[in-house]
Amino acid sequence: MGGDYADLFTSAGDPISVYDPFGTYTDANGRTLRMPFFGNPIPASLSNPFGPRVGPFWAQPNNPGLEGPTASAPISPT
């Protein structure tokens, strides 16, 4: 786990931008926009030191074709 997401792409090969949660602004037309991190590195100053310690305990996806945080633990009705 780290803060450099320069190699983050969709399955189609398109780059995925990582946005600065503190870089939200309103443009002249009243739209709320976000500023991406240039090159997709998240600065160390925005990282929580707890994250790397918890990362090894996070389950890896085990179902092909599923995406998102629930991909590793499908729920079946009981």
**CA 52, CA 56: separation in Å to the nearest integer?**
8
**CA 43, CA 52: separation in Å to the nearest integer?**
14
pLDDT score of 35: 93
- Model-wide pTM > 0.85: no
Residue 1 tokens, joined: 């786990």
Question: Per residue of the chain (78 residues), what is the pLDDT tens digit?
Answer: 468 888 888 888 898 999 998 999 999 999 999 999 988 888 888 888 887 888 888 887 776 665 555 555 555 555
pLDDT score of 32: 94
**CA 53, CA 39: separation in Å to the nearest integer?**
25
**For the chain, domain boundaries:** 1-45
**CA 52, CA 33: separation in Å to the nearest integer?**
29
50's enclosing H/E stretch is helix 50-54
